[in-house]
Structure formats: structure tokens, C-alpha cells
């Protein structure tokens, strides 16, 4: 996702033309051209939680929620390019990593499901674990003591960053937080799967069932076997998950479908990063038919006007779907 978002965030915002508008043409974008993925009330929720002054420190930054992030943990981001206003209140986005809808989803889940003094968050395809860290820090600020954080990342380099990031925020057993980290991929079975050997800053690497020398983006890759697991194996049979964030580069259909019965019974909410329009439609039908309620969504963008060899590879900016389990809400 990061490579695609970097392109989006680095693109200059067009300035309104100083020339007189053509007759019948309004200046600036029409509301019909803006698809934020969140509602005005969501911005108010973000402001309620973002009470820590965002700042840049010597080797890290602090966002408005109090999450500390070492610059070493986000090697794709230049400290000089970080926008403190966006880090304070990530609307419409945080300026370098994620859009507002993802922050809205996590905060909404915490407000809904952490009311009993506990909260379980899972991040699959975690990278450096930004959503685990935010879940832990926000829950701590709200006095939620029973926090469990579960992260899965197949890249050994990014896995090490996740462990470091959580430790830097004092989210570990030593500080009373249950943490379970799995160096591997979430999949439809327990065993092994193939994963590309990629640069630490490449957040678009995708697991596959077969060894391949070309990935979904058409890039040459060398793959290796890595462990994979089903979520119930890692979380524990019968254990409830309050919030699942899943960003698995086009495998969301495979993972959600193969876990559907377990998700229906044991998962309260999901933020799914989507990687193609066909997958978005499949997920909407599947989850809606199983009693899930789509709370917020923003479709992905793709490059039109050409033949599509791989819909995920054609996606220019990933989408988001935030779901609440109607059976557990």
C-alpha cells in the first residue's frame, strides 16, 4: 500500500484557477467528486482522541494520539516531509502513510468494544505495526488495562521493525500488554507459503501459494518459503477479536473466505485494505450476506483505458472497508 500512497500524497494539490470560471462551472471540486470515506462526525471523534501535541524529536516523531514512531521504522518516509498538522489530525490523511478512514475505523472499534476494560487487536500484513501501536496507546490513554496485540508480518526485516516499534511505545509484556507476534503470513492453512524477498520499504510484497518469478505488479521477484497460519491458530480457538486490520495485497478474498465461519463467531470488527474493484464487490456481497454491516468504505483507484492483466496490479491507490459484525455489535 505504501508505494501507492506515496504517489498520492506527493502529488501537488491543484490550486484554484485565478482566471474567471467558465459560465456554469463552479470553482473548486464538486462534493460529488470527493469521496472521503468518513463522515463529518468522524472528524470530531479524531479530535477528541488526538490530544497530544504532534512533534518531531531527534530520532522519532509523536502523533496526535501519542504514538511514538522511530524514523528507522518508516524508512520510506523523509522526516523533512512529515506534516505536523496531518500527524496531529489525520484528515483527510496523515500525509505519508494512511488515509483518515483507517484511523476512524480503529477509534470507532475502541469506542464500541473496549467498554469492558479489555481490547484485542490483530494486524495481518502488519509492516511495522502502526495499527497495533495506535490501538495499544489509545487504549492505555483510556484506562483500558486488558490489552492484547497480535501481529503477523512475513518480511523478517519488517517483523523486526514491528517488534521495535511496539517496544518503543512500551507495548510489551514488561509493561502489562499481552503481545503475540508471528513472523509469517496469514493464510487459509497452517504450514508454509511463498513470499518475495523484498526491500524493507516495499510494503506491496504479496504472498502466494506457488513459487513465482513475477509478482502481481509485473515485477521480477525471488520468493522463499515462509510460515503461514490461520488466525484461530494464533489467536486461540474460542478467543474473541475486537478489531482486525488486514492488508495482504490482494489475498483478502482468500483469507476472509477461508476464515468466514470463525470471523462470524469471534471477530467484532474489521478494517480491510482492498486491492481491486472486483475484490471489493466480492467482499461486499459475502460479508453483507453473512450479517456484517459496512460502516465506512472508500473504493480503490485503478488505471483505466487499457487492458487489465491483473486487477490488483492495476490498482493505483488501495481502498478501505470498515465492517462491524452485526451478530456481535
Residue 49 lies in a domain: no
Q: What is the pLDDT of residues 263-321, one digit of tens each?
A: 999 999 999 999 888 899 999 999 999 999 999 999 988 877 776 766 666 666 789 99
* In a domain? residue 187: yes
Position 178 in a domain: yes
Residue 60 lies in a domain: no
The mean pLDDT of 3-12, rounded to a whole number, is 44
Domain contains 105:
yes
How many domains are contained in the chain? 1
- Who contacts 94 (Cβ-Cβ below 8 Å, separation ≥6)? 63, 83, 86, 87, 103
Of 145-154, 188-197, 239-248, 304-313, give the lowest mean pLDDT range.
304-313
Q: Which residues pair with 147 in a beta bridge?
A: 119
Q: What pLDDT is stored for residue 107 in this prediction? A: 98
Tell whether the torsion through CA atoms of 60, 63, 68 and 73 is positive or negative: negative
Structure confidence at residue 109 (pLDDT): 98
Q: What is each CA distance from 82 to 6, 131, 276, 279, in whole angstroms?
A: 12, 18, 28, 32
Cell of 198: 523484498
Q: Does 250 score more than 50 pLDDT?
A: yes
- Euclidean distance between CA atoms 299 and 285, whole angstroms: 15
Q: 19 in a domain, yes or no?
A: no
Q: What is the pLDDT of residues 60-110, one digit of tens each?
A: 999 999 999 999 999 888 899 999 999 999 999 999 889 999 999 999 999
Q: Please give the model's pTM, rounded to 2 decimal places.
A: 0.87
Q: Name residue, grid cell 500484513.
A: 125
Domain assignment present for 108:
yes
Any idea what the CATH number is for the domain that residue 252 is in?
3.40.50.150
Three-class SS state of 3: helix
Is position 34 within any domain? Answer: no
Q: How far apart are CA 235 and CA 238, in angstroms?
A: 9
Degrees, nearest 5: CA angle 71-73-78: 40
Query: H or E element: which one contains 195?
Result: strand 191-196
Sheet of 185-186: strand order equals 185-186, 223-229, 191-196
pLDDT digits over 23-74, tens only?
555 566 777 777 889 999 999 999 999 999 999 999 999 999 999 999 999 9
* Per-residue pLDDT, 214: 64
Q: Residue 20: which pLDDT band, with cuts at 50, 70 and 90?
A: very low
Question: Residue 179's pLDDT band (boundaries 50, 70, 90)?
Answer: very high
199 pLDDT more than 60: no
Q: What is the pLDDT of residue 17?
A: 40
Task: Give pLDDT, residue 39.
Answer: 92
Q: Which residues contact 235 (CB under 8 A, 6 or more apart)?
A: 120, 122, 150, 241, 266
Range of the domain at 172: 98-325
Q: What is the pLDDT of residues 147-173, one digit of tens each?
A: 999 999 999 999 999 999 999 999 999
| Predicted pLDDT at 30 | 75
Q: Which pLDDT score, from 0 to 100, does residue 132 have?
A: 98
Amino acid at each position: 500500500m505504501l508505494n501507492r500512497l506515496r504517489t498520492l500524497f506527493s502529488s501537488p494539490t491543484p490550486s484554484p484557477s485565478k482566471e474567471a470560471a467558465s459560465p456554469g462551472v463552479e470553482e473548486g471540486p464538486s462534493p460529488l467528486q470527493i469521496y472521503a470515506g468518513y463522515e463529518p462526525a468522524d472528524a470530531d471523534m479524531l479530535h477528541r482522541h488526538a490530544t497530544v501535541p504532534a512533534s518531531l524529536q531527534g530520532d522519532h516523531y509523536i502523533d496526535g494520539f501519542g504514538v511514538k514512531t522511530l524514523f528507522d521504522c518508516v524508512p520510506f518516509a523523509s522526516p523533512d516531509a512529515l506534516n505536523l498538522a496531518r500527524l496531529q489530525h489525520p484528515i483527510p490523511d496523515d500525509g505519508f502513510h494512511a488515509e483518515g478512514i483507517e484511523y476512524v475505523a480503529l477509534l470507532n472499534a475502541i469506542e464500541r468494544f473496549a467498554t469492558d476494560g479489555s481490547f484485542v487487536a490483530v494486524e495481518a500484513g502488519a509492516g511495522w505495526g502502526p495499527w497495533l501501536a495506535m490501538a495499544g496507546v489509545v487504549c492505555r490513554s483510556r484506562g483500558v488495562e486488558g490489552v492484547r496485540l497480535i501481529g503477523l508480518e512475513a518480511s523478517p526485516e519488517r517483523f523486526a521493525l514491528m517488534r521495535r516499534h511496539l517496544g518503543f511505545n512500551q507495548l510489551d509484556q514488561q509493561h502489562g500488554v499481552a503481545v503475540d507476534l508471528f513472523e509469517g503470513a496469514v493464510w487459509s492453512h497452517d504450514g508454509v507459503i511463498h513470499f518475495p524477498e523484498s526491500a524493507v520499504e516495499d510494503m506491496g510484497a504479496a504472498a502466494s501459494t506457488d513459487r513465482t518469478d513475477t509478482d502481481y505488479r509485473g515485477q521480477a521477484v525471488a520468493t522463499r518459503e515462509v510460515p503461514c497460519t490461520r488466525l484461530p491458530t494464533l489467536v486461540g480457538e474460542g478467543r474473541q477479536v475486537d478489531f482486525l486490520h488486514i492488508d495482504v495485497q490482494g489475498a483478502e478474498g482468500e483469507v476472509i473466505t477461508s476464515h468466514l465461519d470463525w470471523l462470524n463467531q469471534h471477530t467484532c470488527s474489521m478494517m480491510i485494505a482492498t486491492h481491486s474493484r472486483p475484490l471489493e464487490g466480492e467482499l461486499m456481497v459475502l460479508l453483507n450476506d453473512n450479517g456484517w454491516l459496512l460502516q465506512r468504505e472508500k473504493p480503490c483507484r485503478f488505471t483505466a483505458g487499457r487492458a487489465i492483466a491483473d486487477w490488483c496490479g492495476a490498482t493505483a491507490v488501495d481502498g478501505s472497508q470498515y465492517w462491524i459484525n452485526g451478530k456481535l455489535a
